[in-house]
Structure 1
Amino acid sequence: MGGKATGFMDYERQTANERDPLTRIQDWKEYSAPFSDEVAKTQGARCMDCGTPFCHIGMDIEGGVTSGCPVYNLIPEWNDLVYKGKWKEALERLLKTNNFPEFTGRVCPAPCEGSCTVAINDPAVTIKNIEQKIIDKGFEEGWIQPRVPSFKTDKSVAIIGSGPAGLAAADQLNRAGHHVTVYERADRAGGLLTYGIPNMKLDKDVVERRVQLLRDEGVTFVLNTEVGKDISAAEIKDQFDSVILCTGAQKHRDLPIEGREGKGVRFAMDYLTRSTEHLLDNSVQVEAELDASGKDVIIIGGGDTGADCIATALRQGAKSIVQFGKHPQLPIKRSEENLWPAYPQVYSLEYAHKEAKKKFGEDIREYTIQTKKFVNDENGKLKELHTIQMKKTRDENGLFVFEEIPGTEKVWPAQLVLIAIGFEGAEQPVLEAFNVKTERNRVKAAYSDFRTNVEHVFAAGDARRGQSLIVWAINEGREVAHHVDTYLMGETALPSVANM
């Protein structure tokens, strides 16, 4: 099982067709199109039936960087089924482990591909694109229909937060027959799937389609409701047999330097949220400060959130865009220290970087650069920022340190700066309302049972784990559901990754 025996030698890796960068920045539609049936079959044939498929064994190595698939997707199995044209069977295998392949197939960074055995010497199997093709075909063919539980228990569960962890927990517990209610403070369900990831990367109709499917299956969503404000934690604990906190890790990491108070220095996630709110509802106006049109835009932070800001600013008509990164440019090929199956730390152009390079004629990223201060005009509006280049070296203890390079100071014009340097953990008001213990701004709850210090209150996802991947959130949602079902019923038939 695992495709054609010689497929990895017979066929070249092919990725999904991306629309022309200069064309797609004129709209907000998804930037790539799914595989055709035939291309997917050929790419599935490249799966080499290796003895130990590291692709579907998720683990954290190399300082917490994920290798392989955290939900243990049965990748060689559905690759083989796609190669043989058995699409419905491939869909069944995919849905055994992943509640939402339409999300991960679009936005997951695919650590499975980094640990693909083919990737030791050749380009990896195109796992992510095949995954998206399987689930999209399932919807197109009408194979995915509401699966309403055949029975209902007398148990009820409240889930606070409707991101991927909350949705996965809701899906699993609803299948177990419990009465599940999801509370979300925003006007739409999905958490960062809806308001944190731009539409051109994950179309919001795709998110809403899944949310509606969950509704049709029996999950109740209570929107525009902030726990601790619109409804008390005490009321929820009284009304439900169990509570799961899936509030995410949205406490921004700030950059408290001179001039930070200037108008035009904002958090990246606020920018992405407001932009999507406006896209989904034209009556929602984006404040002038957060509109990139005609502005020199600088994004501080080299990760995916920063890339999403680039793509958004391009579509808003930014005059110029630069992205600052703390670390040096990555090598073209794996370094000797970055051994397989660790995630390949290599230079690449993400969708937003490709767009910016086409627009401005060069890679807009700056490496090993540090922002020293913001400078505002007499009206308090940002007009420029000052930087200095850094040198990354090892100290006497072998630890990496950064040193300033004298003479490399530079002044950059800027009217909009977006801070995208990560998150410090979960926002505290909801956690304080439930009186759960925290550690380093995360809910204190062990992965072994997800229980907090408060009776019948559990926690999962980024609120417990810290900022992480969507696929880890799904993992946590599935796992907490397993433990909550056991807590409520004394036993469970829900799967657990730990028991696979």
Structure 2
Amino acid sequence: MGKATGFMEYSRKNIKERNPLQRLNDWKEFSAPYNEHTVKQQGARCMDCGTPFCHIGMEIRGATSGCPIHNLIPEWNDLVYQGKWKEALERLLKTNNFPEFTGRVCPAPCEGSCTLAISDPAVTIKNIERTIIDKGFENGWIQPRIPTRQTGKKVAIIGSGPAGLASADQLNQAGHMVTVFERSDRPGGLLMYGIPNMKLEKQLVERRIKLLEAEGITFITNTEVGRDITVEELQESFDSIILCTGAQRQRDLVIHGREAKGIHFAMDYLTSTTKSLLNSDFQDELFVNTEGKDVIVIGGGDTGADCVATALRQNCRSVVQFSKHPQLPSSRGTDNMWPSAPNIFTLDYAHEEANAKFGSDPRQYLIQTKEIIADEDGFVKKLVTVGMKKCILDDGSYYFEELPGSEKVWPADYVFIAIGFVGTELTLLSQFGVEAVNNKINAQYGQYKTNIPGVFAAGDARRGQSLIVWAINEGREAAREVDRYLMGETVLS
């Protein structure tokens, strides 16, 4: 695939990013697309490796390796190298409903399992994917696909995140009448409000929603199932229902002083910021504004990094991100060999921006918050932390020990909690009578059936907090099983 000797002739070139300090002045996308010459060279680096591990789509030691939606990566890399862009787009859309999203915000587990990555930098799969889909829209190749078949069956999908949208797209193309219910004011779920605009501009989400509407899908927003419309009404009106409600219950920080004002869940902070940006360009002031404030983000993951980037654009006085884990190594360890996902140190866009503005990486490692101290008006003013030591046992398990004498006090006007999610909201499940296990909907992977006939589940609500590509995978597969349930056989793969 690609050029036989391309991986020896061309080095990896990442997609260009705007200057970190300059991009802090706006909320636009921080990266820019490849030019055609560069992307062809990057496609040429794809090896004729025989067994392309890039699309294995499996979990190794709990981490995703390869592409969960099994993108035909070597095929479209080769087509890009040959300049056959329309054919590359067709291959990409065979497996991926929304490449404009994954090509921007997916962590690219495909690249970690790229065969070239055994000894050299991986093929720039994610950036090539983005370039293909962007070129498809730019050239008008992507037009509404009006289904030619109508089954008369009606399907309701609750939740319009990536799993819900993928299910809707597949079932609509199979000829069913699809209605998506979203309790927020805009469709898109995590894509709309959980990811900041500088990572995924909302006009891209809105463009896709409009395309799905043009193809026949109905979106009903500002409607919470179980409150604005009853479960019974839904079951009477639709032949099948898919629950794609996500893992929205955020994990809380249980420490002394948690009740202080100025402490927010990360998703609440990100959502209010994006909503205000879209509604009024921040003129409504209905968001948490960190301008001139000391900000602490608790949690070392991507959501925490998004909080850092958001606070920087609001011109915060300082920002620090706490992680309880140690800094990752610069290269793979012996317990993290290819094709497993590389667990190595990287500089996220937000950390690059903080470093440019304040002269240092905002991340603090092996640290745990012990207490929150408020002022006389009840607003957070300080955080007390302690250093930690990670102790690894022979079986690979680990625990943390506090380091005596490592206490430290940090100034804080705002604290954002970004330590993950505990699972899906259970109120709606109880109204349906759907069983849950460990705060996740009890539905077997590959079948997606709940204990209630005709009710299916997909995405984070079923599997727990995960990647967008897993949500698309489950949305597609759940649609296949719903089609089979409704018709006795399925036309979906």
Q: TM-score, normalised by structure 2?
A: 0.99
The letter of the residue matching 2:300 is G
Q: Is the 8 A contact 2:276 2:286 kept in 1?
A: no
Give the alignment partner of residue 439 of structure 1, picking from 434, 437, 440. Answer: 437
**What's the CA shift for 1:28?**
0.2
What residue in structure 1 maps to residue 17 of structure 2? 18
Structure 1 gap segments, 5+ residues each: 496-500
What residue in structure 1 maps to residue 49 of structure 2? 50
**What's the CA shift for 1:433?**
1.8
Write the mapping of 1:354-365 to structure 2, written as runs, cut at 5 A. 354-365=352-363
**What's the CA shift for 1:394?**
2.1
- State yes or no: 1:452 paired with 2:450: yes
Cα deviation, 1:324-377, whole Å, max 9, x if unaligned, reads 011100011111111000111111101111101000101110001000010001
The letter of the residue matching 2:78 is D
**What's the CA shift for 1:287?**
4.9
What residue in structure 2 maps to residue 371 of structure 1? 369
Structure 2 gap segments, 5+ residues each: none
- State yes or no: 1:93 paired with 2:106: no
Q: Is the 8 A contact 1:300 1:325 kept in 2?
A: yes
Aligned length in residues: 492
For 1:225, what is the secondary structure of its paired residue? Answer: coil
Give the alignment partner of residue 350 of structure 2, picking from 349, 352, 373. Answer: 352
- State yes or no: 1:60 paired with 2:64: no
Q: Which runs of 4+ in 1 moved over 3 A?
A: 283-288, 395-398
Give the alignment partner of residue 161 of structure 1, picking from 146, 159, 162. Answer: 159
What residue in structure 1 maps to residue 30 of structure 2? 31
Q: Is the 8 A contact 2:52 2:74 kept in 1?
A: yes
Give the alignment partner of residue 320 of structure 1, picking from 306, 318, 321. Answer: 318
For 1:18, what is the secondary structure of its paired residue? Answer: coil
Partner Cα distance (1:490, 1:155) in 2: 13
Write the mapping of 1:274-423 to structure 2, written as runs, cut at 5 A. 274-282=272-280, 285-287=284-286, 290-395=288-393, 398-423=396-421
More displaced 10-residue stretch of structure 1: 270-279 or 440-449 = 440-449
Q: Is the 8 A contact 1:259 1:373 kept in 2?
A: yes
Partner Cα distance (1:461, 1:477) in 2: 7
Q: Is the 8 A contact 2:160 2:181 kept in 1?
A: yes
What residue in structure 2 maps to residue 130 of structure 1? 128
**What's the CA shift for 1:434?**
1.1
The letter of the residue matching 2:24 is I
**What's the CA shift for 1:462?**
0.3
**What's the CA shift for 1:396?**
6.4
Q: Is the 8 A contact 2:162 2:472 kept in 1?
A: yes
Partner Cα distance (2:231, 2:285) in 1: 32
The letter of the residue matching 1:149 is P
CA RMSD across the alignment: 1.0
Q: 1:451 to 1:361 in 2, by over 3 A?
A: same
Q: Is the 8 A contact 2:309 2:350 kept in 1?
A: yes
Cα deviation, 1:140-159, whole Å, max 9, x if unaligned, reads 00000000001211100000
**What's the CA shift for 1:284?**
7.2
Q: Percent identity?
A: 66
Q: TM-score, normalised by structure 1?
A: 0.97
What residue in structure 1 maps to residue 228 of structure 2? 230
For 1:96, what is the secondary structure of its paired residue? Answer: helix
Q: Is the 8 A contact 1:323 1:366 kept in 2?
A: yes
The letter of the residue matching 1:260 is R
Partner Cα distance (1:285, 1:334) in 2: 47
Write the mapping of 1:157-196 to structure 2, written as runs, cut at 5 A. 157-196=155-194
Partner Cα distance (1:399, 1:193) in 2: 34
- State yes or no: 1:466 paired with 2:464: yes
For 1:112, what is the secondary structure of its paired residue? Answer: helix
The letter of the residue matching 1:22 is L
**What's the CA shift for 1:449?**
1.1
Partner Cα distance (2:29, 2:396) in 1: 44
For 2:131, what is the secondary structure of its paired residue? Answer: helix
Give the alignment partner of residue 151 of structure 1, picking from 133, 137, 149. Answer: 149
**What's the CA shift for 1:421?**
0.3
The letter of the residue matching 1:447 is Y
**What's the CA shift for 1:49?**
1.2
Q: Is the 8 A contact 1:274 1:286 kept in 2?
A: no
- State yes or no: 1:112 paired with 2:122: no
Partner Cα distance (1:151, 1:60) in 2: 37
What residue in structure 2 maps to residue 4 of structure 1? 3
The letter of the residue matching 2:107 is P
What residue in structure 2 maps to residue 71 of structure 1? 69
The letter of the residue matching 1:403 is E
